[in-house]
Amino acid sequence: MPLSMKCPKCGRPVAAQDYRCTACGFSIIGMKDARLHIEVAQVALEEGDIDNAVKEYHAAEVCWPGCPELGRMAGIIAEKKAETGRLREKVRQLCGDKRYYEAKWYIGAFAVNEPLRKEVEDVLDNVEDLLNKANASSDGNVRLDCYLRVLSVCSDCREAEEKLKMISLAPPSGMQTVVHGRNIRLSWQKGASDYISYKIVRKENRCSSRSVQKANEHRC
């Protein structure tokens, strides 16, 4: 603050150390408080906390209604609101598609308490825990189950996709066949993972490819 200045309200010269203008009663100390609020608002904007920036802006406006810096600050807040709105919509779409690793690139622009940011961070923390559990286990079934669980909540986890390709799936055990006339009932021991499903393919009047290959070898 300068040593002497003009009162923003009435234009009379006042000393910077005065609390109020002696002519109109305008609060000089409020001008100092306004600049402090503006500085806090700028920091909040840098951290992506638009709500707090707006709060500090209004506090500065109360302290110093005609502050020349308020107009520039209002423009910055409006731009940040529009930009954050676009990012929020993109992250919301990525979360709906379970592409949380891609969403991670955008959440740095959000405030720490932003719900979308917390959702992304919570899912990725869970994914990392499952990956660590899989990598620490020597049991193929445990690793398989962990990788499948990861992909069920986070579809763009490249590590789980690559590791899953390296695991050989064991066939279902305890396979039993019971024939009732023209009906055949199949039963088997379900795998350890809840994320493995089984599909039965019935080929009428056809041999399997392995049977055809063996028949050809026998003819030769």
pLDDT digits (tens, 9 = 90+) for 99-145: 999 999 999 888 888 899 999 999 999 999 999 999 998 887 788 88
Look at 188 and 205; give whichever has higher pLDDT: 188
Look at residue 178 and give its three-state secondary structure: strand
Alpha carbon separation from 57 to 69, 132, 151, 182 (Å, rounded): 10, 45, 44, 80
Question: Phi and psi of 138, rounded to 5°?
Answer: -100, -5
Structure tokens at 187: 């039963």
Question: Is the pTM for the entire model greater than 0.75?
Answer: no
pLDDT digits (tens, 9 = 90+) for 161-176: 999 888 776 677 788 8
**Residue 64, pLDDT score:** 81
Q: What is the DSSP string of 117-169?
A: HHHHHHHHHHHHHHHHHHHH---HHHHHHHHHHHHHH-TT-HHHHHHHHTSPP
